[in-house]
Amino acid sequence: MKYKVSAGVSPLNFKLRLLGVVSFMTLFAGVIVFRLYNLQSAQHQRWLKMAASQHGSSVEVQGARGTVLDSAGRPMAVSVTSASVGVHKSKIKDLHSLAKKLSPIIAQDEEAIVEKIQAAKKFVWLARGLPRPVGDEISALGLASVSSFASFRRHYPQGRIAGPLLGRVGREGRGQSGVERSFDEHLVASDYRFVVQRDARGRLVKASTSEDYLDAGMSLLRGLVGEARTIGSAEALSLDRDQVWGDFSRKEGVALQLTIDTFAQAILEEEFAVGRSDAKAKSVFGLVMDADSGEILAMAQTSDFDPNQLDNVKPSELRNVVVQDNFEPGSTLKPLIVAAALDEGIISLEQEMDCEDGRYKFGRHIIRDSHPVGEVTVAEVLVQSSNICMAKIAQELGRKKLYSSL
Cα-based distances in Å from 2 to 5, 11, 23: 9, 11, 20
Mean pLDDT of 71-98: 88
E strand or H helix that includes residue 296: strand 296-301
Same domain, 183 and 246: yes
Note whether 13 and 112 are same-domain residues. Answer: no
pLDDT at 147: 81
Same domain for 130 and 78, yes or no, is yes
Digit-coded pLDDT (tens) for 116-157: 888 888 888 888 888 888 888 888 888 888 888 777 888 999
If you average pLDDT over residues 199-220, what whole number do you get?
37
CA distance 208 to 38: 33
Residue 42 falls inside a structural domain: no
Region at 356 (left for phi over 0; alpha for psi -120 to 50; beta for the rest):
left
Which residues have a Cβ under 8 Å from the Cβ of 172 and sit 6 or more positions away? 62
Please check whether residue 318 lies inside any domain of the structure: yes
Nearest alpha-carbon partner for 221 in 359, 117, 66: 66
Residues contacting residue 196 through CB under 8 Å, at least 6 positions apart:
56, 57, 58, 59, 147, 204, 207
Helix/strand/coil for 200: coil
According to DSSP, residue 400 is labeled H
Domain of residue 374: give its range. 330-405
Question: Please, are residues 257 and 220 in contact by the beta-carbon 8 Å criterion?
Answer: yes
Same domain for 27 and 64, yes or no, is no
Q: What is the pLDDT of residues 33-76, one digit of tens each?
A: 777 777 676 666 776 666 666 555 555 666 788 899 999 999 99
Q: Work out the mean pLDDT of the chain and round it to a whole number.
A: 78
Which of 195, 159, 160 has its CA nearest to residue 52? 195
* Cβ atoms of residues 79 and 89 within 8 Å: no
Cβ contacts of residue 153 below 8 Å, gap of 6+? 79, 80, 82, 128, 129
Structural domain ending residue among the three candidates 305, 324, 343: 324
In a domain, 47, yes or no: no
Model pLDDT for residues 212-259, shown as the tens digit of each residue: 222 222 222 343 333 332 222 222 223 333 333 333 445 678 889 999
Provide the pLDDT for residue 312.
78
68 within domain boundaries:
yes
Q: Is residue 400 part of a domain?
A: yes
Which range of 170-174, 215-219, 239-243, 281-285 scores highest in mean pLDDT? It is 281-285
pLDDT at 275 over 60: yes
Give the Cβ contact number of residue 400 at 10 Å: 8
45 lies in a domain?
no
Residue 53 lies in a domain: no
Quick one: what percent of the chain has pLDDT higher than 90? 30
318 and 335 in a common domain:
no
Single out the residue in 324, 350, 366 at which a domain terminates. Answer: 324
Cβ atoms 154, 65 nearer than 8 A? yes
As for how many domains the chain has, the answer is 4
What is the SS3 assignment for 237? helix
Q: Based on the domain organization, do 272 and 213 belong to the same domain?
A: no
Q: Are residues 271 and 314 in the same domain?
A: yes
| Claim to verify: residue 243 and residue 149 sit in the same structural domain | yes
Q: Are residues 106 and 152 in the same domain?
A: yes
Question: Domain check: are 188 and 300 in the same one?
Answer: no
Q: Report if pTM > 0.75.
A: no
Q: Are residues 302 and 399 in the same domain?
A: no
| One domain, residues 201 and 340 | no
pLDDT band with cut points at 50, 70 and 90 for residue 352: very high
